[in-house]
Amino acid sequence: MATNKDRPLPVPGKISKAERKRRNKQGGSAAVLGSGSGDVDKYSSWSRDELLHRIRELESGTGSSSGPSNATAIPAHLMSADTSSSPGSMASTDNESEATASTPVYTTIETPKRKDRRPFDFSKYAKRHVAFRVAYFGWPYGGFASQGMNEIKTVESELFNAMLAARIIEDPLQCNYSRCGRTDRGVSGLGQVIALTVRSALPKSSPHVIRSEGDGFVPETKDLADEGLTQEELEAKAGVYWKRGIKRNKDGSVFGELAYLNIINRLLPPDIRIVAWAPVAEDFNARFHCSWRQYKYFFPKGIIDIEKMRAASVKFLGTHDFRNFCKYDASKTIENYDRTIHEISIETVPEHNFPAKKSREFYQLTLKGSAFLWHQVRCMMSVLLSVGQGLEEPEVIDQLMDVQQCPAKPNYDMASDLPLVLYDCHFENIEWQYQTEVDLVNDITPLRLYRAMEDQWSCYVTKSLMYSRMLEQLDQAMLINLPEPGQSIKLGEYAEQNAEKENNISLGGDLRMFMGKRYSQLMQRQKCLPTEVKNKKHQERKRIKLALAESEANSANNSGASSEVSSPAPASVETFTKTVEPSSLGTFASTPAEEETKEQEQDASTTTAAEESAEADSKPLQA
């Protein structure tokens, strides 16, 4: 057992734990200042008032500086008056005590300001035009295309934000951007394709990048020594070498392009992913170079007659006028509504292994075409579901595609957006790459993408299984005195028996429409205005708005020219339309407000372009 004799002697200049506690009780400043080493040991025996006086001397610059140059902030509770001096303390007057108590002195620690982040210099890097294959689940988004408003979250806005944060692009408006198509709110996409000019890790002398002024490359100037050399020989001349199966630059970095997938996906939400990328020509356009597009629409069987639905679907094959299977777009005057459907089929979903019940079998409609009108697929699916539920005959497809028999679209609701997915977009001579040369060193990019999709799949399948087990329990629930008094029946059986009697129509997903006591046939419903009339009215309203704007501008100029001369008030819509000859308006000689009211009454399903942010020429995939 150790005794006091065995304990080591105290080291000069080092304060014991007991001494530190004692000094903390008396006034922690001495312990704090005396806990160091060197010059501060002489302050260990000073009282609190002596320390404060010394600090004020150092701050004012009157005392000799033996301590650090930067002053420390003195808290208020240390500056409060405690005029009782310990033995050996310096005498202080009453005025000093009052001043100390009433006006505490604070000093700031001068810390160097953080240097502003140096702006990213895109001119140091080469650029190249690439295509990205994008997969997204569009349920929480307001469509694919950016709406130009921050409060509307779209898939495209998320992509731009991620690429801007990663310094992949400098400006979305100046990156030669193009999309294969735009999908509506709630519609998903597994094969969407976009193309844009991005930053590249390749040298500016590489044949794969875009060459512009300032890159140091002059096509007319060629090194005669490089003529006849292959690409591998040119790279070897530039110092590129192989090490352990990895191609590296002269400085040891991995030779190749940026890991676009890994860089961008790390900044994207979990329901948006860039699946693959491909180098493309500078004039490549994702919209106009697409050969065909493929959609899929998933739906449960329920009471649908699949064979009858198939018989109606084959009538869409070929080139037809689909003006009655789309939504009118007031922003563009479309004159050609002909579209070509290459393939269409309705098949079961093979991997669906949920409760074995005939009505819960899932089917998928697969549709392949060159281009599509706005909401075309959803309108086609709405009519097909009506045929499958026995509300319409397959011949209604022929009647709606006959412009002479049906020049305007009947009023009917579109199918749900939830089950619709842009499945694939095909391009000739494009080889999609799922990794880059950098990923050869670390294969985390393809694995991270795969695990992310697997986790999302597991999450949604788990939710689906819970609903399935809930339905199994409800199937066995017993109902008493149904269907007749004194009888009993299971809820699942009773639901199947009354499925055809229910007064609603399934429009896919969770969307059902109440049809009233009697279903109205499509050809007997009130029809919208013909597209020619809509285009004429839209152009007339546009002309009136431009004339009003010009009139108000002229009125403002006249009023500003001379403050003494009073100018007439700006013309309103009502006063301006009175000056327009009725013959110039023809059958639409009314105010714009009256025209809009009449059109809303005649065409309940038509919405303005400002409300939908539609752009017909830039949305061949709008379905």
Residues noted as catalytic = 184
CB 48 within 8 A of CB 87: no
Nearest to 484 by CA among 497, 475, 474: 497
CB 169 within 8 A of CB 258: no
3-state secondary structure 61-82: CCCCCCCCCCCCCCCHHHHCCC
Give the integer Cα–Cα distance in Å for 422 and 460: 19
3-class secondary-structure state, position 12: coil
The pair of three-digit structure tokens given for residue 246, joined into one six-digit string: 């990895």
The pair of three-digit structure tokens given for residue 194, joined into one six-digit string: 């976009």
The pair of three-digit structure tokens given for residue 393, joined into one six-digit string: 């005959």
Going from the C-alpha of 200 to that of each of 124, 130, 203, 255, 437, the distances in angstroms are 10, 10, 8, 12, 13
Residue that the structure tokens 């919209």 belong to: 287
Give the integer Cα–Cα distance in Å for 623 and 294: 11
| Cis peptide, bond prior to residue 483, ω within 30 of zero | yes
Taking each helix axis as running N to C, give the angle between helix 531-561 and helix 592-602, from 0 to 180 degrees, rounded to the nearest 10. 160
3-class secondary-structure state, position 199: strand
Give the integer Cα–Cα distance in Å for 543 and 25: 87
CB 280 within 8 A of CB 129: yes
